[in-house]
């Protein structure tokens, strides 16, 4: 087997929605899609290192807060960009044009934002392991007991 070193950093691995443990395998089965189901369909475990992508019951419940924070950050960034490039005045409707632009921007970015918040979320719980080949992935069979589903 040839040794393939992945030298992806935390940021590029998270932004491209990759497994935080090996930074190589993709978390999602399909590319970003406007179909909600297709867009959010994840691999059960990383196809490269075997890291489970759902490490406990209701694991991704908190990601709505992450995508909310990301959305607010995008609003602030787009407002600053609009202010610098186009300007805001009380004498015309440039502010309302920004509101419309911002709404469209958020809708267009939504599929990617939802994936990015999951990628960020799991990256806070699963540590990068450069020697993942020598260690076993975490055992989640206890935490993912089907009897405990929806019991959180
Ligand atoms: Zn992996």
Ligand 1: centre distance to CA 66 (Å): 22
DSSP string, 13-63: HHHTTB-TTTS-SBSBSS-S-SSHHHHH-B-SB-TTT--BS--STTGGGGH
Ligand 1: centre distance to CA 81 (Å): 36
Please, what is the average pLDDT of the chain? 90
Residue 114: name the closest of 41, 26, 51, 25 by CA: 41
Q: Which pLDDT belongs to residue 26?
A: 97
* 11: three-class secondary structure by DSSP: helix
* 89: three-class secondary structure by DSSP: coil
Give the tens place of pLDDT for each residue, 41-79. 999 999 999 999 999 889 999 999 999 999 999 999 999
Q: Which pLDDT belongs to residue 5?
A: 63
Task: Indicate whether 1 pLDDT > 50.
Answer: no
Ligand 1: centre distance to CA 109 (Å): 26
Give the tens place of pLDDT for each residue, 78-112. 999 999 999 999 899 999 999 999 999 999 999 99
Q: Which residues of 2-19 are buried (b: 16+ CB within 10 A; e: fewer)?
A: eeeeeebeeeebbeebbb
Task: Indicate whether 3 pLDDT > 90.
Answer: no
> What is the reported pTM?
0.84
């Amino acid at each position: 087997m040839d040794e393939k070193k992945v030298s992806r950093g935390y940021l590029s691995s998270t932004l491209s929605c990759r497994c935080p443990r090996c930074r190589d395998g993709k978390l999602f089965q399909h590319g970003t899609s406007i179909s909600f189901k297709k867009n959010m369909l994840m691999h059960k475990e990383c196809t490269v290192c075997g890291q489970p992508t759902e490490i406990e019951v209701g694991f991704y419940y908190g990601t709505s807060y992450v995508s909310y924070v990301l959305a607010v950050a995008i609003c602030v960034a787009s407002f600053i960009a609009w202010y610098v490039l186009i300007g805001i005045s009380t004498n015309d409707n440039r502010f309302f044009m920004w509101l419309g632009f911002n709404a469209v921007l958020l809708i267009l970015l939504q599929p990617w934002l939802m994936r990015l918040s999951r990628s960020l979320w799991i990256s806070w719980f699963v540590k990068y392991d450069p020697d993942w080949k020598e260690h076993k992935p975490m055992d989640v069979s206890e935490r993912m007991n089907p009897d405990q589903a929806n019991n959180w």
